[in-house]
Chains A and B, each alone.
Chain A
Amino acid sequence: MTGVNGADIVVVGAGVTGNAIAYHLARQGADVLVVERDDLAAGSSGACDGYVFMQTKAPGVHLNLALESAAVYEGLSDELGYDIQFKRCGGFIVIRTPPEWEVMEKLVERQRAAGLPIELLDASRVRQMESFLDGEYEGAAYCPIDGKIGPIHLALGFAHGARRHGARFLLHTPVESVVLEGGRVTGIETAIGRIRCNTLVVACGVWTPLLLKSLGLSVPIKPRRGQVLVTAPLPFALNHAMLDARYIAVKFNPKLAGGGDDPVSRIGISFAVEQTAAGNLLIGNTREFAGYDLRTTLEACHAIRQYASSIARRLEKVPVIRSFAGLRPYTPDGLPLLGPVEGIPGLILAAGHEGDGIALAAVTGRLVSQLVLEGTVPPLMGPCLPRRFSLV
């Protein structure tokens, strides 16, 4: 089934997840074609931050996925022949209030029991380690193996590596529907005609439910907008990646964002500051259910400013050059949907990573390629199987 009009495996979506899967498949000699309606990294992978945090993951499957991915990133630039800008810079989760401290204390205890190097530091110790954090807070959780990566570089790098191993990419080609014959997937219908395949991997992030609606499937992934401010490259270096405890609360439990009508509660403001390899700061962010609307809003930008500069006063003086918004694929339990769709042989999902698509791309690629090529569900994939939700 090779040639222009077919491939053994078709991956829909050339974001970081689809490209990572294509890379792992191609590296093992599989015949892979990636079909993308726009360009490489044109969706969420090109509109996000580059956190590779360990301490934001709950001990258990989520943390294990992240640990494996980060270990892969250590050597991935050399492996791909492409600089993915990965750095284990260490990460802070700033704790602003005594109630947050209590919650974080319990989480840190569980993480430490699971073997994660992590400690709680009081505010003066945090300021010693990161002078940038010069505002008001109680302290922070610090994990030296948290890191950051260039998200676009990672997505382009996986595509580069996949091509080197023979994967093909069909960009600017929207997929219109999935073709079933005798109940199993035999191809896709695209703007340039039918493309046949034996296995179809759908890695379209927030757009996954739209594609699979044509099969009568209801995939529980919802777009959640995150707005971020970008500064000009700064003359000083930030030593760490940093979030705050509200980020964890808001990400995993929208209700914890608070039911209030103030902007902080309503649009899910939390603190997230990171410096890119080029020197720009990314200052965020929000978590809003606003459909597929990618616009940024003055309300959110203003709320981000107020919230972030209460923790890092120096931010008041940085020059902002742009705002952007990306859509995070939210799922009800915070875990992605990875694995076969029951009842439709040949159809595999790999979507719904919320804010973890970048951090978990490497392990997602490994797990999905293993499933496709060996036909068995790898142990780490178990809790991520789509069958935990009713898709009809």
Chain B
Amino acid sequence: MNRKSTEIGDVVVCRCEQVGRNDILKAVREGATTIAGVKSRTRACMGVCQGRTCGPVVRRILAQETGRSPGEVYPGSARPPVRPIMLGNLGSDGW
């Protein structure tokens, strides 16, 4: 199922998208081994902060669950803009 299941007692990992630790663990059980895999299954790291807050935590959980060190987990692709920008300001003075 793809519905959010942030339950009482669960730890919120991604605040922007309200994703709990249990959601991340479930995504790993379903085959996610990368940040991108967790994103597509849970929306963690997809919110306003773009994973700046939760990214390292997601990475650590992935590493723990798949028996790797955090450095071995591919961090995912960062894309512009670096922080939210009003569309009307985009390109007017660089990013």
Known: A231-B87, A318-B87, A322-B50. A296 touches B36 (CB 8 A): no
Cβ–Cβ contact A39 & B34, under 8 A: yes
Residues of A within 8 A of B2 (CB): 82-83, 153, 156-157
Contact in complex: B79, A323 (CB < 8 Å)? yes
Q: How far, in whole Å, are A152 and B77 apart by their CA atoms in the complex?
A: 17
Chain B residues in 8 Å Cβ range of A318? 86-87
Q: Which residues in A have their C-beta under 8 angstroms from that of B91?
A: 298, 301-302, 305-306
Bound state CA distance, A83 and B3, in angstroms?
Answer: 8
A171, B31: Cα distance in complex, Å? 8
Question: Are B40 and A320 in contact, CB atoms less than 8 angstroms apart?
Answer: no
A172–B33 touching, CB < 8 Å: yes
Pick the residue among B17, B31, B81 that contacts A39 (CB under 8 A): B31
Complex CA distance for A171 and B85, rounded to whole angstroms: 36
A232 to chain B, nearest CB (A): 5
A321 touches B40 (CB 8 A): no
Cβ B84 vs Cβ A232 within 8 A: yes
Residues of chain B with a CB closer than 8 A to A298's CB? 80, 91, 94-95
Known: A156-B2, A324-B79. A319 touches B40 (CB 8 A): no
Chain A interface helix/strand/loop/mixed: mixed
Q: Are B79 and A320 in contact (CB under 8 A)?
A: no
Contact of A40 among B3, B31, B47, B87 (CB under 8 A): B31
Alpha-carbon separation in the docked complex, A94 to B3 (Å): 34
Whether a CB of chain B sits under 8 angstroms from the CB of A22 is no
* Residue with the highest number of chain A CB atoms closer than 10 Å, among B50, B85, B91, B95: B91
A169 lies within 8 A of chain B by Cβ: yes
Given contacts A42-B36, A320-B84, contact A156 B90 (CB under 8 A): no
Closest to A297 in B: B80
* Assembled-state Cα–Cα distance A315/B89 (Å): 11
With beta carbons under 8 angstroms apart, the residue of B43, B84, B95 that contacts A319 is B84
B1 lies within 8 A of chain A by Cβ: yes
Residues from chain A with a CB closer than 8 A to the CB of B48 are 232, 319, 321
Digitize B2-34: 1 where CB-to-A-CB distance is under 8 Å, 0 elsewhere: 110000000000000100000000000001111
Interface residues of A in 274-290 (CB under 8 A from B): 278, 283
Most buried by A among B17, B33, B80: B80
A268 to chain B, nearest CB (A): 18
Chain A residue total in the interface (Cβ 8 A):
39
Are B85 and A320 in touch, CB under 8 angstroms? yes
Please give, as numbers and ranges, the residues of chain A lying within 8 Å of B71 by CB-CB distance. none
CB pair A156–B43 under 8 Å, yes or no, is no
Known contacts A172-B33, A301-B91, A320-B90: A156-B84 contact under CB 8 Å: no
Q: Which residues of A contact B1 (CB under 8 A)?
A: 81-83
Residues from chain A with a CB closer than 8 A to the CB of B90 are: 229, 301-302, 305, 320
* B75 on interface, CB distance cutoff 8 Å: no
How far is B48's CA from A315's CA once the two chains are assembled, in angstroms? 17
Q: When chains A and B are docked, how far (Å) is the Cα of A323 from the Cα of B87?
A: 11
Count chain B CB atoms within 10 A of each CB in A278, A306, A321 and give the residue with the most: A321
Bound form: Cα–Cα A157–B17 in Å: 20
Asked if A357 lies at the interface with its beta carbon under 8 angstroms from chain B, I say: no
B67 at interface, CB cutoff 8 A: no
**A–B complex contacts, Cβ < 8 Å, 18 sampled:** A39-B33, A39-B40, A42-B36, A83-B1, A83-B2, A83-B3, A232-B48, A298-B80, A302-B90, A315-B87, A315-B88, A316-B86, A317-B87, A317-B88, A319-B87, A320-B87, A322-B81, A323-B80
Enumerate chain B interface residues (CB-CB to A < 8 A): 1-3, 17, 31-34, 36-37, 40-41, 43, 47-48, 50, 77, 79-81, 84-88, 90-91, 94-95
Interface pairs A-B: 6 shortest CB-CB: A302-B91, A316-B88, A319-B84, A39-B37, A152-B40, A305-B90
